[in-house]
Structure 1
Amino acid sequence: MKPVDIRIALLRKGVTNVQVANDLGLSPKTVSNVIRGHGYSSRVARRLSEVTGIPVARLFPGRGQRVAA
C-alpha cells in the first residue's frame, strides 16, 4: 500500500502513528519511517496490521516475507 493509504487506514480506526509508537515503545519517527517505506520492522508491520485489520502482506507487499529456497 502507499503510505497515504496506511495513514488513512489508521485514521479510520482513530489511531495515530504516535499511538502505535507508544504501544511498541518506539519513537514516532521509527513508525513513520516504516509507513513511508524508509526501512522495515516486522514489529511495526504487525502492530499496524492489528490496528487496521489489514494483513501485513497487503500493507507491505514483498516486505518481510520469507522466500522458499
Structure 2
Amino acid sequence: MHPEDIKASIRKAGKSITIAAKDLGITPSTVSLVVSGRGKSMRVQTYISDLLGKSVAEIWPKPERIYLPVCESCMSRGLQSNDRGGGQSGSVGLTG
C-alpha cells in the first residue's frame, strides 16, 4: 500500500499516527517512518495490520527483484551478481 493510503486507512479506523504511537508507547515519528517504509518495526507493522484487518505483507509487500545484465568488463573483474547465490549468472539483482 502507498503510505498515504495507509495513513488514510488508519484515520478511517478512528486512529491517527499520534494515537497509534501513544498506544504503542513510542514516538509518532517512529510510526511515520514505518508507515512510509523508511523504517521497520514488526511491532508497529503488526499493530497497523491488526487495526486495518490486513496482513503485514498486504500493507508492505516485499519489492520484486529486478535482474539487469552485467557488462563483460564487470564480469571479467569478478562481478557476477549481488544475489548471493541462486541468482542468474551474469546479472545483478536490484530491489525496486
Q: Identify the TM-score tier after normalising by the shorter chain.
A: 0.7 to 0.9
C-alpha RMSD of the superposition: 1.2
Report percent identity of matched pairs.
38
Rounded to whole Å, the distance in 1 between the matches of 2:54 and 2:14 is 15
Aligned residues: 63
TM-score, normalised by the number of residues in structure 1: 0.84
TM-score, normalised with respect to structure 2: 0.62
- Unmatched segments (≥5 aa) in structure 1: 64-69
1:2-13 equivalences under 5 Å are 2-13=2-13
Give me the whole-angstrom Cα distance separating, in 2, the residues matched to 1:37 and 1:49: 14
Alignment map for 1:1-69 (pairs within 5 Å): 1-62=1-62
Q: List structure 1 runs of 4+ shifted beyond 3 angstroms.
A: none
Higher strand fraction: Structure 1 or Structure 2?
Answer: 2
Answer with 1 or 2: which has the greater Rg.
2
Higher relative contact order (CA 8 A, sep 6+): 1
Could you tell me which runs of 5 or more consecutive residues in structure 2 were left unpaired when the two chains were aligned. Answer: 64-96
